[in-house]
Every structure is written in structure tokens, then in C-alpha cells.
Amino acid sequence: MRLLPGALGILLLLALLTWLLLRGIDTNAPAYAVTLKAFDDFALAEASLHRDVMQARAGVLGNYDTLGKAVEAMEDAVTRLRSHAQTEGLESGSVDRLATTVALQEELTERFKSSNALLQNSLSYVGLLSTSPTFGAQAKQLAPAIGALAAAILHLTRDSSSDAVKALQDRTDRFAAQAPTVGRHAEAAQALLAHARLLHDLLPAVDETLKTLVAVPSRQPLEVIRAQFSDRQSVVEATAQRFRLLLYLVSLLLLIMLASLGLQLRARAYARQRRAAFEHVIAKNSTRLINCPPAETEARLKQVLGEFCRAICGERAYVVLAENPTRVVACSTDGTVFRLAGSGAGAVRAARRSRTRHRHRAGCRRLAAWRSQGRVRGGRRTRLGLRAADPAGPSARHHGVRRLSTRVGQGFSTARGAACR
């Protein structure tokens, strides 16, 4: 049960990191690539359609299958774009406009195919009649009119202006005036006239259809749709980027927390080491004091105090013995002899004053030494307290409780001292 909060915290943290990661990598890239392909397909199909209608008009397109496929491809691309727009929650008005332009292009393409088939058919027929000896003996007579008619048709195939149309009308009328109406050549002459008149109407109409088809404004709605998808993608990418940044910040925070925990762990380990060493000193000196003959008590006590001083890096130590009169046993690590004047409560107060007086200097020195050893950073405070035990004790031994508080850097360790006698 003690691990439950920790486990829950880790699970929550994992969920948070996973969520941030997923949102961070979710740039909608595959869907956007598919959308871009639909744009490419549309543009390719439209370009193919325009190329093929031009070729068909020039008479170099083999068949109209490619036109139908191009229109189908455009419709398919629009369908896909509509689907993607719905998926992305985009406004579909532009897709509708694009679909309308495709429908218009399809209608114009069908009109063009039908007209162009007749056009090519009639051109073929006029070419056949104007270059074959269909008119027999009359050919020489009719040749100028036929040639003029053919020239006018040829001119109209390249220029469907009103002047060219009028020129063809004139030549057609001139040929009609000369063409035989009876006899075995009449049929061919009338057929030539019929095709010429058909071309007179068809050529400008086909060219007009062609111009309209090529000029269908599909670019504008296409650009609008492209901009919509592009904007949407920018939003998605910006969101993903924000999540990636958030993920980075959370990761950074976790790293800082981890480092902090590591430092705390290290400080605690160090404190435990010191405590263990101090416990060892206490145990050793306790044994030493227990086995001490009464006559050697003071000397042994000084020795013990000296070891305590070294263990806690102190400079001086003292013990106030609850005797009558009160006696103070003191020692220093540097061998300096100091004595505390007075007796009883006065000695205790003197000891406290001495402690206060030396505490700052000693602390500063220890701190400098520890800093040079790299053991601490920041400030340190040592407090040494001593309290006389029950003076009425049968063994007249002195018990003390000492509290040592050490703050090292941001860490804090507390060692509770043991009894000594």
C-alpha cells in the first residue's frame, strides 16, 4: 500500500509523457500527403485533358479514351478532396465550386468530342474530295473554286475569326454557283458543299468550345482549397510543435527533479556514513568509559572528549560534572588548555558563553575545510548542547544528550547522539 501512490504517480507520469509524445508527433503528415496527391492528380489530369483536346483539335490524337480518363481522374480527385475536407472539418464550398468547374469541363469536353469528331470527319472528307479525281472531266473547270474553297477551309482551321468565316462563306457560295447539280458528279459536289458548310459552322464553334474549356476557372477554387488545407496543416503542425515543446519542458523538469533527488540521496548517504562513524566512536568510547577505573575518569574523559571533537570536527569539548562543586572537564583538539571559571551554575553559563564565542569561529574554519575537501557547499551550522544528568544518580555518572544538527548545502542531516559517561 505504501507503494501505491508512487506507482500511481509513475503511471500518471507515463500517461502524460505518452500523451504529449503522441500529440507531438501527430503532424497529420500522411493524410496531408494523400491530400497533396489528390491535388497533384487533379492538376495532372487537367493538364492532360488540356493537352489532349489541343491534340485532338489538331487531329493528332488517336482516340478520345484519354479524354474520358482525364475527366474521370479529375472527378476522382475532387471526390477525394471532398472526403479529406470533411475529415478535416473544412468548409466544403470551395470543393463544390471545384466540382462545378469539373462538371463544366466535362460538359465542354463532351461537346468538344462530338463537334471535333464531325470536324475531323469533314476535314478528312474535304481533303479526299479536293485531291482526288472525283470530278472527272469537270475537275479542270472546278479546280479554281475547289482550291479556293480548300484554302478558305485551311485558313479557317488556323484562324476562326469572323473574317475567315466570311471568306469561307464567300468561297462556298462561289463553288455552289459553279458546282454541278445534276449528273454523276453532282453528288460529290453537293457533299463537298455540305461538308464545307458544316465546317463553316463547326470550326468556330469547336474553337470557341476549346477556348472556353481551357479557360474554365478551376485554378481559383483549387488554390482556395489548397490554402485551406495548407492553413489547416499549419495549425496542426503548430499544435504538434507546442506539444513537443511541452514534452521537452516536462522532460527538463523531470531531469531537474532527478538531479535533485540524486543530490539528496548523496547527502543522506553521506550523513549515514558520518552517523555510522560517530556511532562507532560512541560505542568505542562508551566501552572505554565503562571499563575505566574511577581514578582515570578525568583523563579518560578528556580522551573521549578529544575523540568526539575529532569525530565531529570540533575544536573544543567540555563536560560539566554534577559534583559539588560543579566541575568542568574540557579539552581541545589542538591541545590548548582552557579552563572554565566558576562552579556550579556559573561554570555552566561560562561553558555556554565559551561555546557561543567559539562556535562561529570554529564553524567557519570547519566549513572552509569541508569546502576545500568538496564535501559541502553553502553554509553549515554546528550546535552543541550539554545538559547535566540527574546529579543524585547512584553512580554519580553524567548523562548527556547531545544534539547535532548539521545543515550542509540544501541537505539537512540530524544525528542524535548517544549517552556518555
Partner 1 sequence: MSLATTVLMAGRRIACLLLALVCLEAGSLADAQSPTLQPRAGEEPITPIPAAPVQDPRRVALGEQLFGDRRLSHDNTRSCLSCHDTGTNGASANAHDMTLEGRPLALNTPTVFNSALNFRLNWEGNVRSLEREAEETLRKPETMATSVDEVVSKLRADREAVRLFRDAYGSEPNGAALLDAIATYERSLVTPGGRFDRWLAGDAGAITPEELSGYQLFKSLGCISCHQGVNVGGNLFQRHGIFHPVGSAEPTLVRVPSLRNVATTPPYFHDGSAPTLSEAVKKMGVAQLDRELSDQQIAAIVAFLNTLTGTYRGQAVGAATTPPGAATVLP
Tell me if 125 contacts partner 1 by CB under 8 A: yes
Q: Shortest Cβ distance from residue 146 to partner 1 (Å)?
A: 7
Task: Out of 18, 86, 87, 124, point to the residue binding partner 1 (CB under 8 A).
Answer: 124
Establish if 227 lies at the interface with partner 1 (CB under 8 A).
no
> Which distant-in-sequence residues (6+ apart) come within 8 Å of 116 by Cβ?
56, 57, 206
Chain centroid offset of residue 308 CA: 60
Which set of grid coordinates corresponds to residue 152?
478558305
Count of residues that bind partner 1 according to CB under 8 A: 42
Q: How far is the CB of 158 from partner 1 (least distance, A)?
A: 9
Of 147 and 325, the one with the shorter C-beta distance to partner 1 is 147
Q: Does 43 bind partner 1 (CB under 8 A)?
A: no
- For the bound state, the minimum distance from the C-beta of residue 215 to partner 1, rounded and expressed in Å, comes to 22
Q: How far is the CB of 127 from partner 1 (least distance, A)?
A: 3
Residue 296 binding partner 1, by CB under 8 A = no
CB 122 within 8 A of CB 198: yes
Note whether 123 binds partner 1 by CB under 8 A.
yes
What residues numbered 52-81 form the site for partner 1, per CB under 8 A?
A: 58-60, 62-65, 67-68
CB of 56 to partner 1, least distance (A): 10
The rounded distance, in Å, linking the Cα atoms of 234 and 214 is: 32
Torsion of CA 353, 354, 359, 364, to 10 degrees: 130
Give the one residue of 86, 87, 114, 220 binding partner 1; rule: CB under 8 A. 114
Give the total residue count for the chain.
421
Query: Does residue number 379 form part of the binding site for partner 1 (CB under 8 A)?
Result: no
Question: Nearer to partner 1 by C-beta: 2 or 158?
Answer: 158
* Binding pattern for the stretch 186-205 against partner 1, x by CB under 8 A and - elsewhere: -x--xx--xx--x-------
Instruction: Write the burial class of residue 214 (CB in 10 Å: 0-12 exposed, 13-18 middle, 19+ buried).
Output: middle
Q: Which uninterrupted H or E stretch holds 374?
A: none
- Residue from 121, 146, 122, 152 nearest 134 by CA: 146
Cα–Cα distance for residue pair 214/53, rounded to 1 Å: 9
Closest by CA position to 41, among listed 72, 85, 84, 87:
72
Q: Identify which of residues 87 and 131 has a Cβ nearer to partner 1 in the complex.
A: 131
Q: What is the DSSP string of 44-72?
A: HHHHHHHHHHHHHHHT----SHHHHHHHH
128 binds partner 1 (CB under 8 A): yes
Yes or no: say if 314 and 308 are a contact pair by the CB < 8 Å rule.
yes
- DSSP 3-state of 41: helix
Query: Which residues in the 169-188 window bind partner 1 by CB under 8 A?
Result: 187
Q: Which of 23, 97, 113, 407 binds partner 1 (CB under 8 A)?
A: 113
Q: Which is nearer to partner 1, 143 or 369 (CB)?
A: 143
Q: Residues in the site for partner 1, rule: CB under 8 A?
A: 58-60, 62-65, 67-68, 110, 113-114, 116-118, 120-128, 130-131, 143-144, 146-148, 150-151, 153-154, 157, 187, 190-191, 194-195, 198
